[in-house]
């Protein structure tokens, strides 16, 4: 996945947020505006080309100096799907860029 393609789709409003991502964003107090800001200003931290659900990636961005992770992939109609949205923290993350030992790629 390419960050510019993702940004273009989001600018056109051609994205959806999974139920899981909606649940997580509410729990973490992340707004839709925050999600778009992370996409527009963030960077791809990890890529998952062989994900069984289809190619996806992990985007890292910041909202008021708070790190935010977004995992996104494509829908069957080639829209962007936000799979999950969260604040990286222990036990899975040492910091926003460093996975903890045993931290799986899904969060």
Report the 10 Å Cβ neighbour count for 25. 21
Instruction: Give the pLDDT score at 105.
Output: 62
Mean per-residue pLDDT of the chain: 93
Residue tagged 């390419």 (tokens): 2
Q: For residue 35, what are the CA distances in angstroms to 50, 52, 56, 91, 104? A: 24, 24, 16, 23, 22
Instruction: Give the pLDDT score at 21.
Output: 97
pTM of the predicted model, to two decimals? 0.91
Is 49:2 a contact under the CB 8 Å cutoff? no
Q: Is the pLDDT of residue 106 over 80?
A: no
The pLDDT tens digits for 17-28 are: 999 999 999 999
The pLDDT tens digits for 87-97 are: 999 899 999 99
């Amino acid at each position: 996945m390419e960050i510019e393609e993702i940004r273009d789709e989001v600018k056109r409003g051609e994205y959806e947020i999974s139920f899981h991502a909606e649940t997580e964003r509410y729990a973490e107090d992340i707004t839709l505006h925050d999600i778009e800001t992370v996409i527009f200003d963030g960077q791809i931290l990890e890529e998952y080309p062989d994900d069984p659900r289809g190619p996806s990636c992990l985007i890292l961005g910041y909202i008021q100096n708070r790190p935010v992770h977004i995992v996104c992939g494509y829908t069957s109609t080639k829209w962007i799907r936000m799979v999950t949205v969260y604040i990286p923290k222990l036990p899975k993350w040492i910091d926003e860029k460093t996975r903890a030992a045993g931290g799986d790629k899904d969060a």
